[in-house]
Amino acid sequence: MKTRYILPFLLLGLTSCQKDFLNQLDPNAVAVEEYFKTENDVLLAVNGLYQALRSGSNIGESSTLYSEERSDNVGRDDNQSNAGEPFQFNDFSILPSNSYLKTHWSNMYDGIARCNTLISRIDQVMFSNEDIKIRYVSEAKFVRALLYFHMVRKFGDIPLATVEITSKEQANELAYRQKEDIVYKQIVADLTDALDSDLPNTQWEYAVGRTSKAAINALLGQVYLTMGSTFTLDKIENFQKAERHLSAAYGMRTFGKLNEIPYAQVFDVTNKASCKELIMQVQYLQGDQNYSSSIARNNQARGETINSQYPSTGTGGNVKMDLVKDYEENDVRKSFSIKFATHAQVNDWFITKFRDNSDESGTQGWGGNDWILIRYADVMLLLAETKMHLGKEAEAIKLLDEVRERAGLPSYEVSKSNATYSRRYPTLKDAILHERRVELAFENHRWFDLIRNYDTEGLVEYFKTKSQADYGNAKLSNISTKDRYYPIPFDEYKLNPEKMYQNEGYQ
C-alpha cells in the first residue's frame, strides 16, 4: 500500500463512517486507489468531512481553547501540571513547542486533506445524476474553506494545498507558507464554487449538519467582511460583497423576526433538529459513549445540576468577571448563559448555556448538544457591522435592535441615553461588538471579532485597558503585538526555517 502525505511530518490516517478509507498503515483498511468506486463510497467520504469537524482539536465543541480561551470571555486559572500548556493560550505566553497547538494545526490539515482527496478522486466514480456529484464537491469545498478560514486567522501565512498529496516529494514542494491574501482568494474561490450547485437554501431541506446555501453565503459574507477589515486594498468592494452575501443568507431564513425564537430554544437539545435559527451545526449523538456531546457536563460546576445529571467534581466552565460585568441589567441571556456556583470549592461563575440533564444523557453526561457554527443572530450582527462600515447606520441599528429586543433590552437609541451604556459603548462599533459578545458568548466568535475590529496595536491597547482583577490568573501584562497570531508549531518551523518562517515575536 502507498503512504499518503499532507505535509512532510504528517501521515494521513482518517476514517469515514464505517470505512477507514485513507489510512494506508492499516492492513485491514481500504486503499485509497480502491475506495472510490460507487456513489455511496463518495457519500461516506462526504460524511467523513463533517465527522472531522467534531474533534475538539478541530472546530468541534471543545475547541474553545483555540479561540474563546484566547479572548476576554473565558480562560482557566490552573497554570500547573496538565493545565500548564492550555493556560498559555489565555496568558499570552504560548510557546511554539505547545503540544496542543501542534495537535490543532495537524487536525485542521487532516480535515483539509480529506477534502482534497475527495475532490481529487471523485471523477473516478460514475454518477447517475451529475447534480449529486456537484453537490458533493461543493460540500467538500465548503468544509475546506471553513478550515482554511480558521487557520489563516489564527496563524496568518500558511501552507496551501488544494490537491491530494501522494508523495513526500510533492508534500515537500507544498510545505511553505503562502501569504494571507492568497489563502483568502482560495477560500473565496471555494465558497463561490460551492454556491454554484443545487444545494438547498437551508439544511432542513437536505440534512441537519450538512451545509446549505444559507451557510455558504453566511461564511462567504464573513470572509469578505474580514478581508475588508484586514486588508487596505479593495476595502469598500469587500464590504459591499460582504453585505450582498450576508443579506442573501439572512433572506433565506424561514421565520419573521428573531424574537419569534426564544433564546433558550436555540440551545435546547429537543429542538436542535427543528430550530429555525440554526444555519450550520456539528452533530453529536445523545446517549452514545463515543459520539455524544460532553459540553454540558464539562461546564458543570461542583454541587450544581443545571447542565447535566453528571456529578461534577470540578469548577465547570470558567467565566471571566470581565464578561459577567458586560451583561446589561435584565438581559435574559445572562441568566440563561451563566450562573454563580456557591459551593465552597467553586464560589465562581460557570457556563450554563449548553445543557442536557435528560435521562437519555444520564449520569454519565452523554449529551445531545450539537455544536452551533452559524446561526441567524450571528449573521444579523455581522450584517450590522458590514452596514456600519458602508455608512448605513440606520440599517445597522435596525438589525442590532432586533437582537436586543429578543434579549429583553431597550433599543440602541434609548440605551444611548443611559450614562453607563454610553460610557462603555460610545460608538456604534463598540455597541455591535458588545452585542456580539453577550449574544454569542462561549460560541467561539469572540477572538475573531476582536482581531477583525482592532488592528494589532489596537488589540494590545484594548486588553491593556482591562482590570487584572476581572481577568483571573492569566496576566494581561503579557500581551504584545506578537499575540495577534499564534506561533507556527516548532516541528513545522524546524522542517524548513526559511519556507516555514516563524511569526514575529516567537523566534
Percentage of the chain modeled with pLDDT above 70: 93
Average pLDDT taken over every residue of the chain: 92
What predicted TM-score, i.e. pTM, was given to this entire model?
0.93
Domain residue spans of the chain: 1-196, 199-265+375-472, 284-369
Question: Residue 77 pLDDT > 90, yes or no?
Answer: no
Question: Residue 250 pLDDT > 60, yes or no?
Answer: yes
Place of cell 511553505: 176
Place of cell 446561526: 375
5 confidence band (pLDDT: 50, 70, 90): very low
Rounded to 5 degrees, φ, ψ at 227 are -65, -45
Q: What pLDDT, on a 0 to 100 scale, did the predictor assign at position 215?
A: 98
Summarize pLDDT for 434-451 with one digit per residue, the tens.
999 999 999 999 999 999
- CA nearest to 185, candidates 240, 145, 126, 136: 145
- Any residues with CB less than 8 A from the CB of 458 and at least 6 apart, and which? none
- Higher-confidence residue of 280 and 83: namely 280
d(CA 304, CA 350): 10
- Any residues with CB less than 8 A from the CB of 336 and at least 6 apart, and which? 263, 264, 267, 352, 353
Cα angle for residues 175, 282, 134 (degrees, 5° grid) = 65
Helix axes 99-121, 39-53, angle to 10 degrees: 160
Candidate from 29-43, 55-69, 145-159 with smallest mean pLDDT: 29-43
Any bridge partners for residue 339, and if so which?
Answer: 350
1 confidence band (pLDDT: 50, 70, 90): very low
Q: What pLDDT, on a 0 to 100 scale, did the predictor assign at position 275?
A: 96
What mean pLDDT is predicted for residues 307-322?
A: 95
Q: Tell me, rounded to whole angstroms, the distance of Cα 291 from its chain centroid.
A: 19
CATH number for region 1-196 = 1.25.40.390
Task: Judge whether 311 and 343 are in contact, CB under 8 Å.
Answer: no
Rounded to 5 degrees, φ, ψ at 63 are -85, 10
- CA nearest to 385, candidates 372, 399, 374, 402: 399
Task: Judge whether 368 and 292 are in contact, CB under 8 Å.
Answer: yes
What mean pLDDT is predicted for residues 217-243?
A: 97
- Higher-confidence residue of 159 and 24: namely 159
d(CA 22, CA 33): 9
- CA nearest to 116, candidates 215, 5, 222: 5
Cα angle for residues 163, 165, 167 (degrees, 5° grid) = 150
Q: What pLDDT, on a 0 to 100 scale, did the predictor assign at position 3?
A: 36
Question: Residue 82 pLDDT > 80, yes or no?
Answer: no
Task: Judge whether 142 and 215 are in contact, CB under 8 Å.
Answer: yes
269 confidence band (pLDDT: 50, 70, 90): very high
Summarize pLDDT for 19-49 with one digit per residue, the tens.
333 344 454 456 777 789 999 999 999 999 9
Q: What's the longest Cα–Cα distance across the chain?
A: 70
Q: Nine-digit cell at 324?
A: 459577567
d(CA 446, CA 434): 10
Q: What pLDDT, on a 0 to 100 scale, did the predictor assign at position 206?
A: 83
A 10 A CB-CB count for 143 gives: 24
Candidate from 61-75, 78-92, 292-306, 462-476 with smallest mean pLDDT: 78-92
Question: Residue 386 pLDDT > 60, yes or no?
Answer: yes
- CA nearest to 487, candidates 59, 154, 184, 230: 154
What mean pLDDT is predicted for residues 78-90?
A: 77
